[in-house]
Amino acid sequence: MFEPKIVCFLCKWCTSAGADLAGTSRLKYRPNGVNIRFMCSSRVDPEHILWAFHEGADGVLIGGCHPGDCHYEDGNYKTQARVSLLNRLLDDFGIDTRRLRLEWISAAEGAKFANVMNDFTEELRSKGPLKLAVREMAK
């Protein structure tokens, strides 16, 4: 079966803590993502996302605090704005916008983190590998 590769950019305060809670609660989920921990989801530059797709990711997950809960006041709103803008360009790069997910997952939502990982993995499986022109050419 196709195993998609997922890069997960998680904020330290909410989503990475939620992922830790999934661990302490011993919830099981698909092992397709590797987490990269930032202080805030607003550290994610759209360039990082494009770079992840360039480097072989089939999906990118950004995890931040729920609206109103950002540890840095409004970082997650900036993230949302940046992701919305990037979504308008992804098509031009030949990337289905559903390969980029932005999820608000709090430190209390271990189960949500596990569900998102399972769900995203299944969705990417049904889509199949990302065939990016630049990657195909390099081959």
Partner 1 sequence: MKRIGVFVCHCGINIAETVDVKRVAEESMKMDGVAYAQDYIYMCSEPGQTLVREKIVEEKLDAIIIAACSPNLHESTFRAAAEEAGLNPWQCEIANIREQCSWVHSDREKATSKAIHIVATIVQKTRLNESLEPIPVSITKKALVIGGGIAGIQASLDIADSGYKVILVEKDSSIGGHMAQLSETFPTLDCSQCILTPKMVAAGKHPNIELMTYSEIEEVSGYVGNFKVKIRRKASFVDWSKCNGCGLCMEKCPAKVSSAFDRELATHGAIYVPFPQAVPNKPVIDKDSCIYFKTGKCRLCEKVCEIGAINFEQEDQFVEEEVGAIIVATGFETLPVADLAEYGAGDVPDLIDGLAFERLLSASGPTVGEVRRPSDGKVPKEIVFVQCAGSRDPERYKPYCSKICCMYTTKHALLYKHRVHDGQPYIFYIDIRTGGKGYEEFYHNAEEEENIIYLRGKVAKIFRDGDKTVVWGTDTLTGRNIEIAADLVVLATAVVPKDSTAELVKKLRIQTGPNGFLAEAHPKLRPVESINSGFFLAGAAQGPKDIPETVAQASGAACKVISLFSRDHLEQDPAVAWVDEDLCGSCRICISVCPYDAREYDEEKEIVIVNEALCEGCGSCVAACACGATQQRNLSDSQIKSMVTASLGGV
Distance from C-alpha of 63 to C-alpha of 106, rounded to nearest angstrom = 9
Look at strands 59-64 and 6-11 and give their pairing.
parallel
Nearest distance, CB of residue 78 and partner 1, angstroms: 6
Taking the C-alpha atoms of residue 133 and residue 92, their distance in angstroms, rounded to an integer, is: 11
Which pair of structure tokens corresponds to residue 69? Answer: 């809960």
Using rule CB under 8 A, residue 39 touches partner 1: yes
Q: Which of 85, 89, 91, 108 binds partner 1 (CB under 8 A)?
A: 108
By rule CB under 8 A, what count of residues binds partner 1?
50
Using CB under 8 A, pick the residue from 59, 105, 106, 130 that binds partner 1: 106
- For partner 1, what does the binding mask look like between residues 48 and 87, x meaning CB under 8 A? x--xx--xxx----------xxxxxxxx--x---x-----
Q: By C-beta, is 12 or 123 nearer to partner 1?
A: 12
Q: How far is the CB of 124 from partner 1 (least distance, A)?
A: 14
DSSP state of 58: S
Instruction: Give dist(CA 7, CA 39) in Å, integer.
Output: 16
Q: Name the one residue in this structure whose structure tokens are 């990016």.
A: 132
Position 132 contacts partner 1 (CB under 8 A): no
